[in-house]
Amino acid sequence: MQAVRAFSRSGSQLRRPCLTAARSAVAATRAFSTARIRPAVAVAAQHQWRQARSFAASSQDKDSDDDFKPKRKEVPEGDAEIHDMIAQQVRDNKLMVYMKGTPSAPACGFSMQVVRILHAQGVDFSSINILDYPAIREGVKKFSDWPTIPQVYLNGEFVGGCDIMTQMHKSGELETMLKEAGLVQGK
């Protein structure tokens, strides 16, 4: 890829051509809005920027092999089957978190807070992204009789959501529970 050299106060740095195209599109749009250049120039710059962005955004090739496409597990449709599946997940994993997003990319602040707390405690945990599975999202609320997400389960028992986890973390009660469950070694 050809790089365009640009200079800044801190020295020289390399920039990608699509950034240069984006900057020229922004500059052309600003100039057009102040009526300093012709509309055709602004449209051409915006078209150039869109072409650069469309290349970067087209990461999913329709001709790609099915082996490389994301695979998701099938979720049962009935309430009883979903309840059984959640019960098995909670039973099979010592520490289970139902959250929005993933531990590496939480999709809400409350889920991020729970992940930070568990990482601060130094424990490994399993998680389900309920945004990918709407049936599990509703099913877990019925399972625990708790209306909000995230939900944390320890040794098959519902611990709570973000507010309860935060309070337990601050008081030291969470660390005690995790030690008793054998997930945290004594310090």
State pLDDT tens for residues 165-180. 999 999 999 999 999 9
pLDDT at 153 over 50: yes
Q: Do residues 147 and 84 share a domain?
A: yes
Are 156 and 183 contacting, i.e. CB atoms less than 8 angstroms apart? no
Instruction: Please tell me whether residues 23 and 111 are part of one structural domain.
Output: no
Q: In the listed set 5, 39, 55, which residue is the last one of a domain according to the structure?
A: 55
In a domain, 5, yes or no: no
Q: Are residues 21 and 86 in the same domain?
A: no
Place of tokens 């020289």: 12
Mean pLDDT of 55-81: 63
102 or 44: whose pLDDT is higher?
102
Residue 67 lies in a domain: no
- Note whether 143 and 176 are same-domain residues: yes
Q: Which residue has the higher pLDDT, 50 or 180?
A: 180
Task: Please give the mean pLDDT across all residues of the chain.
Answer: 75
Residue 112 lies in a domain: yes
Helix (H) or strand (E) holding 95: strand 95-99
pLDDT at 80 (0 to 100): 84
- Tell me which residue of 19, 181, 20 sits closest to 93, measured CA to CA: 181
Quickly state the pLDDT bin for 12 (edges 50, 70, 90). very low
- Asked if 108 and 40 sit in the same domain, the reply is no
* pLDDT number for residue 119: 93
> Which domain covers residue 92, as residue numbers?
79-180
| Residue 86 or 53, more confident | 86
Q: Is the pLDDT of residue 83 over 50?
A: yes
Mean pLDDT along residues 4-33 = 48
User: Any residues with CB less than 8 A from the CB of 95 and at least 6 apart, and which?
Assistant: 118, 123, 124, 125, 126, 152, 153, 154, 178, 181, 183
Does any domain span residue 33?
A: yes
CATH number reported for the structural domain that contains residue 139 in this entry: 3.40.30.10
Please check whether residue 6 lies inside any domain of the structure: no
Average pLDDT over residues 65-77: 65
Distances from the Cα of 136 to the Cα of 7, 36, 60, 100, 109, angstroms: 52, 56, 27, 12, 20
Prediction pTM value: 0.61
Residue range 102-108: mean pLDDT, rounded: 92
* Residue 10 in domain: no
**How many domains are there within the chain?**
2
Residues 84 and 174 in one domain: yes
For residues 160 and 121, membership in a common domain is answered with yes
Asked whether residue 7 is assigned to any structural domain, the reply reads no
Query: Is residue 35 located within the same domain as residue 115?
Result: no
